[in-house]
């Protein structure tokens, strides 16, 4: 397959979609990246980007990896505390001489670094994917604004609530993991010193983590176990997004103070979901990567990394394959066992630490 005559449409400008677009564009493919929002979503909070995620960026473009190593804080210590603040376990992170460290980094820094590597004319904003049609000769994506795109391959990178997924495996339900989650980023250099990742272990219906993001910033996550009401099933967040004070009071005073000092506009709230392993990752000329293909519980911090690994694998098979069908089948054969293991093991860790999964239909955002 000649890259220069292959037209690739990508739906979703999250980290998976932007990295795929820049990687394929550099290899000479004709790329169009479609995002429903008016701007790429550079909100979000801190991410633990594990070493294999940075390696996947380094293999695709070493400059991206070098830039991210400067934009966050290398993870140095993981400390597990009980809800009284007592330390149950503390582990120093150790890295081999040539090993890339895991990074504690703001999602915004990752996405902006990836966007800097992308020609702006490839990105089409306010383009909400609605449906797809395909023939043996090609694939057409239809958008809510009435426009359409025609090409050779369509890649769904549109996240956990993927619409493109309907063309690959219809009617997938998301599973509620049992937690309502608040995350925030706040100016604070003292609670989490250089490279620290602090976990308040699950107990009394809550769980919380804090980590240094470098540049004087701290990320925190606060999870409460809570049933969803009938009307909340499949929604992104509850109507009332305030943290219940009686739940916050279960944390020690110093940890609570970090959360309470965060400006409300820097806090995001969502119900936590994953999806079951999909029986296939492509159908004809449509293929899924990232959370659209394998959204998982954050318990093993594999989500973003798995999307970057998908990008490398898809680019590799596109370069090797002779037909689209053969290329996507090879991509699926390589990636499916790996992402299924990530999904199942992440869910297992969640369950062991007290969360449950309940299937639910997705509601429109």
Ligand X SMILES: Cc1cc2nc3c(=O)[nH]c(=O)nc-3n(C[C@H](O)[C@H](O)[C@H](O)COP(=O)(O)OP(=O)(O)OC[C@H]3O[C@@H](n4cnc5c(N)ncnc54)[C@H](O)[C@@H]3O)c2cc1C
Question: Can you give the binding site for ligand X, defined by CB under 6 A?
Answer: 11-17, 34-37, 41, 47-49, 128-129, 157-159, 163, 181, 183, 290-291, 298, 301, 303-305, 307
Asked if 323 contacts 196 with a C-beta cutoff of 8 angstroms, the reply is: no
Q: Please, what is the minimum distance in Å from the beta carbon of residue 129 to ligand X?
A: 4
Helices (H), ranges, the chain: 15-26, 51-60, 62-71, 107-116, 245-248, 253-260, 291-294, 303-320, 324-352
User: Distance between CA 279 and CA 364 in Å, rounded?
Assistant: 24
What is the number of other CB atoms lying within 10 angstroms of the CB of residue 243? 17
Instruction: For residue 24, give both structure tokens.
Output: 């394929």
Report the residue number whose CB is nearest to ligand X.
14
Q: Which is nearer to ligand X, 42 or 320 (CB)?
A: 42
Number of H helices, E strands in the chain: 9, 20
Sign of CA dihedral 360, 361, 363, 364: positive
Q: Which is nearer to ligand X, 56 or 324 (CB)?
A: 56
Q: Please, what is the minimum distance in Å from the beta carbon of residue 16 to ligand X?
A: 3
Rg of the chain (C-alpha set): 20
User: Distance between CA 61 and CA 24 in Å, rounded?
Assistant: 11
What is the number of other CB atoms lying within 10 angstroms of the CB of residue 135? 9
Q: Please, what is the minimum distance in Å from the beta carbon of residue 2 to ligand X?
A: 27
Phi-psi region of 168 (alpha: psi -120 to 50; beta: other; left: phi over 0): alpha
Residue 151's contacts (CB-CB under 8 Å, 6 or more residues apart) are: 7, 8, 9, 30, 32, 138, 139, 141
Q: Please, what is the minimum distance in Å from the beta carbon of residue 295 to ligand X?
A: 7
User: Distance between CA 306 and CA 308 in Å, rounded?
Assistant: 5
Picking from 315, 245, 333, the residue whose alpha carbon sits closest to that of residue 27 is 315
Q: Please, what is the minimum distance in Å from the beta carbon of residue 30 to ligand X?
A: 19
Residue 177's H or E segment, with its range, is strand 174-187
């Amino acid at each position: 397959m000649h890259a220069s005559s292959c037209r690739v449409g990508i739906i979703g400008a999250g980290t998976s979609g932007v990295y795929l677009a820049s990687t394929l564009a550099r290899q000479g493919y004709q790329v169009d990246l479609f995002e429903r929002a008016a701007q790429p979503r550079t909100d979000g909070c801190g991410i633990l980007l594990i070493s294999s995620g940075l390696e996947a960026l380094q293999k695709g473009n070493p400059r991206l990896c070098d830039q991210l190593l400067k934009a966050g804080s290398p993870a140095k210590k993981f400390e597990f505390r009980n809800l009284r603040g007592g330390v149950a376990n503390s582990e120093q992170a150790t890295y081999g001489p040539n090993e890339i460290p895991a990074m504690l980094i703001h999602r915004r820094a990752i996405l902006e670094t990836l966007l800097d590597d992308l020609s702006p004319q490839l990105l089409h904003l306010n383009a909400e994917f609605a449906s797809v049609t395909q023939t043996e000769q090609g694939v057409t994506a239809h958008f809510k604004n009435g426009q359409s795109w025609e090409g050779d391959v369509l890649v769904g990178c549109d996240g956990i609530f993927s619409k493109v997924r309907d063309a690959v495996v219809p009617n997938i339900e998301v599973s509620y993991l049992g937690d309502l989650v608040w995350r925030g980023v706040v100016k604070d250099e003292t609670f989490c010193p250089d490279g620290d990742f602090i976990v308040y272990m699950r107990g009394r219906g809550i769980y919380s983590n804090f980590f240094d993001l470098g540049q004087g910033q701290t990320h925190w996550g606060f999870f409460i176990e809570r049933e969803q009401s009938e009307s909340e099933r499949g929604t992104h967040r509850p109507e009332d997004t305030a943290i219940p004070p009686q739940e916050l009071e279960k944390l020690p005073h110093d940890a609570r103070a970090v959360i309470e000092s965060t400006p409300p506009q820097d806090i995001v709230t969502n119900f936590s979901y994953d999806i079951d392993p999909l029986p296939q990752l492509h159908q004809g000329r449509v293929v899924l990567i990232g959370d659209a293909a394998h959204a998982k519980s954050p318990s093993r911090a594999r989500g973003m990394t798995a999307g970057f690994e998908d990008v490398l694998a898809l680019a590799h098979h596109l370069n090797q394959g002779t037909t689209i069908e053969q290329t996507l089948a090879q991509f699926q054969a390589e990636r499916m066992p790996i992402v299924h293991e990530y999904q199942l093991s992440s869910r297992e860790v969640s369950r062991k630490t007290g969360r449950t999964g309940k299937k639910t239909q997705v509601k429109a955002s």
